[in-house]
Amino acid sequence: MHVRAAASLLMTGILITGCAQKPLPAPAAAIAPNPFGYLKQSAVCTVSPIVNGPTGRSAKMSVRSDDGLCTVALSQPDGTAYASFLLQTLPAHGKAFIYNYNNQTLVNYTATTAYAGPDGFTVSLIPTAGHARVALQVAALADATGVVLPPPPPAPYVATPSKSSHRSSKSTHSTRTKHKKASSS
């Protein structure tokens, strides 16, 4: 009986050890949080530190135009996200998306697929009440190295009626009626 109890305790100890929680591994790279799950990170995304200037803040980014996003993350001097924001000027060769997450304001930029060249946009950051708006100018340089456009979808098939080689036979009949002349006697 003692052997059975010892074996039972030993087995319970092995099972509990296997269930011990291990710490989560650290993330492989510093990537901005993606609460939406469907957003893809660009293969190339380099963002300069944000510079404070006389007309506002500015940042530069290099991004691959592979339909992936590149993110500028910023917060107010007190470490909180901005209360609101709006795009003052839109990017000419891409799209921008701004949202708050985890005490940061995140500005995502996605270049138009296979576009290569400069782009830029301006975001108006609205802090808490009583503080002046802050402009953030983002200058992006898109690179299309290795980006291949997918082939266009085939044109839909449209059936056109064909001319039949069979001619319909139309017969025209004319009938003449013979009139008898009335004779005068």
Edge-to-edge strands, sheet with 69-74: 69-74, 104-111, 94-101
Per-residue pLDDT tens digits for 111-146: 998 899 999 999 999 998 888 899 999 999 999 888
Per-residue pLDDT tens digits for 16-35: 555 555 544 444 344 556 66
Q: Residues with Cβ < 8 Å from 19, sequence gap 6 or more?
A: none
Q: Say if CB 61 and CB 77 are below 8 A apart.
A: no
Per-residue pLDDT tens digits for 51-101: 998 888 999 999 999 888 999 999 998 899 999 999 999 999 999 999 998
Structure tokens at 6: 């010892």
Q: Say if CB 115 and CB 151 are below 8 A apart.
A: no
Structural domains in the chain? 42-141 (2.60.40)
